[in-house]
Amino acid sequence: MTTKTTTYIYAFSFWFIWNALSAKIILQYLLSLNFVPVIICYILINIFPFILFFEVVVKILFSSNISSKLNFIPTQLEALSQIDTKTFNYYTNALESLGFTRISDLQLSESTLTVARLFCHPKHLCFAEVIQTPGRSIVFCAISSGLEQEWSVSFRDNSPSLAIVYAFLRRPRGIIIVQQGVTPEELLRSHLKFRQKMMRDLNLQLLRDISIETYFDQAQRIRTCQRKALWRKSVIIGLVEMWLFNFKSETQKSQWLGDYARLAARKG
């Protein structure tokens, strides 16, 4: 039985039990308190199941679309349909001219199919990814480094669905900075400059292993942290944060500094 089917069964069962029994008992208890206005009692009885629905059922549905274990499959991008090979070739040439070495083409099989071309830089000890979700026109580049104590920093020249990432999947030690429209060379330069400052401010060392096994391990660790963050997160608060995200400045939208800003300010 799938997670979604099980979730729907639990939701229906809760709704039936709530309306048949629990709501009446709780309402009688609230009314017996006397100091709680009658109108407030009825409001609470009516909104409580909706709150519980969002906080439990919707959370289960969200997490069912984010698998606990990442499954990377080596592939050939040229053999896949709906791949923007022209843009992939542009990034490939640009990154290789900067000293990056191409490692592999990968696809990530989940609810949607995401493909990536993975690179590493033997001198600067960082990874680069060119990513596309087939069917979408967005192809973007991300340059990332792993640091001690589960810290990571990723610079990207685009980032689809940033609002939902900000609201539900952000990690306190996972720094994400988006620089729209920059070249791979500019992206790498900014990444290295920020990484050095971050290492100095927090007294961190760079993780020097840039093998594909390390990439897989880091990606799995990030996914595990994201799922934990999702379970701790209030769905209602997250939805409000997604809505408020639209009112942030472009600078605020383009970067997530997590705990780094607070810790760096304390040391400064």
Q: What is the 3-state secondary structure (H, E, C) of 27-85?
A: HHHHHHCCCCCHHHHHHHHHHHHHHHHHHHHHHHHHHHCCCCCCCEEECCHHHCCCCCH
pLDDT band of 102, cuts 50, 70, 90: very high
- What is the per-residue pLDDT for 111? 47
Element (H, E) at 154: strand 152-156
- The pTM of this model reads 0.79
- What is the per-residue pLDDT for 14? 60
Neighbours of 138 (CB within 10 A): 13
CA nearest neighbour of 163 among 238, 59, 262, 56: 238
pLDDT band of 83, cuts 50, 70, 90: confident
- For residue 246, give the 3-state DSSP assignment: coil
pLDDT band of 10, cuts 50, 70, 90: low
* Higher local confidence (pLDDT), 166 or 156: 156
pLDDT at 200 > cutoff 60: yes
> Which residues are registered as beta bridge partners of 150?
none
**Mean pLDDT comparison of 119-128, 133-142, 159-168, highest-scoring range:** 119-128
Q: Which of 126-130, 225-229, 242-246 bottoms out in mean pLDDT, i.e. has the lowest?
A: 225-229
Exposed, middle or buried, 250 (CB in 10 Å: 0-12/13-18/19+)? exposed
- For residue 107, give the 3-state DSSP assignment: strand
- What is the per-residue pLDDT for 71? 80
pLDDT at 135 > cutoff 70: no
pLDDT at 259 > cutoff 80: yes
pLDDT at 22 > cutoff 90: no
pLDDT band of 107, cuts 50, 70, 90: confident
pLDDT at 118 > cutoff 90: yes
* Higher local confidence (pLDDT), 226 or 147: 147
- What is the per-residue pLDDT for 1? 46
* Higher local confidence (pLDDT), 41 or 247: 247
- pLDDT, tens digit, 9 for 90 and up, residues 51-71: 777 677 777 767 666 677 778
pLDDT at 173 > cutoff 70: yes
CA nearest neighbour of 100 among 129, 74, 77: 129
- What is the per-residue pLDDT for 145? 96
Distance, in Å, from the CA atom of 141 to the CA atom of 116, rounded to the nearest integer, reads: 9
